[in-house]
Structure 1
Amino acid sequence: MSGNSQDKGVTGAAKFVTSTVGNTVGGIGRTVGGVTGAAARGVGDTITSATGSAGKPVGDAIGSVGTGIQGGADSVSKGVENAGQWKGS
């Protein structure tokens, strides 16, 4: 018997739908996280440029928050994609 019998019939159809939805939601989450992260880093760089060394700690902190948001969104997106493909963590 070839192939995985669990990937046929209703189960196969369910996996296809959840995989498609999971990949779509994961991709959207990753995009939003990337845009938000880049925007926050841009704001941080602007603050640092405008205020010099006095504002550098604030600019760096805002940039770090942006990087954290992007990393968190990537992690959540990967989890959604894995769930959509019926994978464990």
Structure 2
Amino acid sequence: MLLEHGRPEPEARWGPLAEILHGAREARGLGPGPDTRTPAIIVGGAIDGIVDERLHDPGYDAEAAAGSLVAMLEPALFA
């Protein structure tokens, strides 16, 4: 569902990513863990930031930034 300014409802943005995070925990044999909403919001914002920086600076190493993001998330979400 869209808001009046053409932006998606917040859950439409974080919901699919929360499902991916939940599935990743299951695939690793981990329990459901904490609510995945907040991590999904944080990760979505980080991805947006990496993409935006790359769009403004073609020399920015988005691949390395994505690797750094994964390295930060692994112990926080899947330990």
Structure showing greater relative contact order (alpha-carbon pairs closer than 8 Å, 6 or more residues apart): 1
TM-score in terms of structure 2 length: 0.43
Whose helix fraction is larger, Structure 1's or Structure 2's? 1
TM-score in terms of structure 1 length: 0.40
